[in-house]
Amino acid sequence: MIALSQWQGKDLSSFQSYAKEHVLTVATQTPQSFACQVRHTETRTTSPSFNQGDVIMFSQFKMKPGKDQSELATIVTQEMPSVIQMIPGLQWAAMCPSTDKSTIALLARWNSREDFKSLGQQPGFDKETNYWQAYADNEHGLYDVVKIIR
């Protein structure tokens, strides 16, 4: 389960205080929380949005020791337009580097799980030739939007 929150506060410490009080603990897993800022988006539509029933990819690029987050962020930014063009089922993507420089989160809306799987078959995105392997370890999953709270 992933819960995304858009923080309107002016400072990171107020978000961290909020997260300590509101992040749920699940008996089988330690909750994970990090703050990030949207730095780049690519879209086929007017703006990224979430709707109930959407298929959303949430990917975390966890930086390897000694690697610079800004270098990978530049590469991701350069790759995003071509990926939008290459895969018709990708509707939008948003790159969000963490404020502590340890992670880059990537959110993307897909038309279907099959469309997402097709990306992993493209050179540069498969397990052997992926563009991020020198910079970060990647964990990702596909999620269905179940509920939106506004």
**21-25, 47-51, 71-75, 87-91: which range is least confident on average?**
21-25
Is the pLDDT assigned to residue 7 strictly greater than 60? no
Q: In the structure encoding, which two tokens stand for residue 14, read together?
A: 């107020």
- Residue from 89, 81, 75, 78 nearest 121 by CA: 89
pLDDT (average), residues 59-77: 93
Neighbours of 18 (CB within 10 A): 14
Q: pTM here?
A: 0.77
pLDDT (average), residues 4-11: 58
Q: Which of the two residues, 78 and 21, has the higher pLDDT score? A: 78
pLDDT (average), residues 81-90: 87
pLDDT of residue 1: 45
- The C-alpha angle with vertex 132 and arms to 85 and 141, in degrees rounded to 5, equals 75
pLDDT of residue 21: 66
Contact 115, 56 (CB under 8 A): no
pLDDT (average), residues 37-65: 86
Pick the CATH number of 35-144 from 3.30.70.100, 1.10.150.240, 3.40.250.10, 3.40.50.12780: 3.30.70.100
- Residue from 20, 36, 28, 40 nearest 1 by CA: 28
- The C-alpha angle with vertex 54 and arms to 88 and 76, in degrees rounded to 5, equals 55
Is the pLDDT assigned to residue 25 strictly greater than 60? no
